[in-house]
Structure 1
């Protein structure tokens, strides 16, 4: 059986526009999380990680 994909939520729910700067997910992704299948969750986690890297890079350059 495949391992469960845990939510990337870190309980720092702060929205900037439609993006949570705590986990990197969009409002839409957060709302759809429970209904997502494993492949969708994996893609969402990957996109969220990339978004957070961009946020961190911007903050480091500021």
Structure 2
């Protein structure tokens, strides 16, 4: 196999693997955000500040991504 093609194939595999991991982490993060919000102890803003993301992301997670 051409070395450039082999490198491209390996890079493509790495991207695919990375995408799967990203999805898993995103689902776990979202589950934890919903769980924390349901306790009633946190507002969207408080969650965003403590997690280090935007209140808009929190809103999307809590309200369900559309």
Q: Which has the higher strand share?
A: 1
TM-score (norm 1): 0.41
Q: Which has the higher helix share?
A: 2
Q: Which has the higher contact order (CA 8 A, sep 6+)?
A: 1
Larger radius of gyration: 2
TM-score (norm 2): 0.39
